[in-house]
Structure 1
Amino acid sequence: MQQVQGILAIPGAAMALQLLGSLGAILVLAWLARKLGLGGDPRIKSEDHARALAEEAICGFDAQAVCIDRAGIGALLRDAHDRVLLIRQHGSHFAARQISSHAGVRLDSRFLTIATDDRHFGTVTLDLGDQAQVWAASLRRLGGAPA
């Protein structure tokens, strides 16, 4: 009878080891994903963060004016040469495009919707609050559709 109980105890120990091994593997994968910066919900945290993203996108882009979406999913920046850069959340990173015309810009109260010339970039709607009208008016200076 003792032999039978010993045999039954072995599968229980194996199951416990398998459970601990699986848990360890999950923790290692979670640590690795965090270390690589995968997942998450990135947001633009401050004007300095937006300026750093702009400099990453266009070398030498020195933003003079910055307006960040209320949720932090995007931003508009203008430099001293009146170039306007749109930054938006793209997965767990950010993507940026220079705005060359006001043709794809639409104002709706505090929301500014911008469609760029790059169809892969898509259309972005930013909640800019009171600044939406100011930025919409300033984007009109960019002119119409590009030639």
Structure 2
Amino acid sequence: MPPPNIRADRDKFQQALLNLLSNACKFSPEGGDITIHVIPPTPGEHDQVGIAVEDHGIGMNADECQRAFERFYRTDRSGHIPGTGLGLSLVKEIMKIHGGAVTLNSAPNLGTTVTLWFPLDLDHSDTHNAGASLTASATPHMTSPTDLTQRSPA
């Protein structure tokens, strides 16, 4: 099966992923595991690729999960964890620009998983990316077309 291709602006893709990784680090115990998963599309079910960031940190309750994407909303009211409360709202806007979505699953004291869902680029040929596991190129309205390629080990 050929690797999936997505269209993404490199800077916005990196910003979204770095925001998720930053949150995972801030809300996890020191030395806690953070995992990144690539979720391939399921033929006949959805034409999206997921990139999930999972931590085993403090997690959120249902009320906090519902508000997590609001601008300036912070689950940490103590002021001990740095941040402005803009990270997840920016991630949501970035995914909207890409025609994708973002989902959040969390439970108190168990951790959080946030998944970026990118639509497949069905028009992009796989022939020039043999061996690539995920390819993203700039969207047509972006000014600097760039391929982001994560290559499998040779």
TM-score (norm 1): 0.28
* Larger relative contact order (CA 8 Å, sep ≥ 6): 2
TM-score (norm 2): 0.27
* Bigger radius of gyration among the two: 1
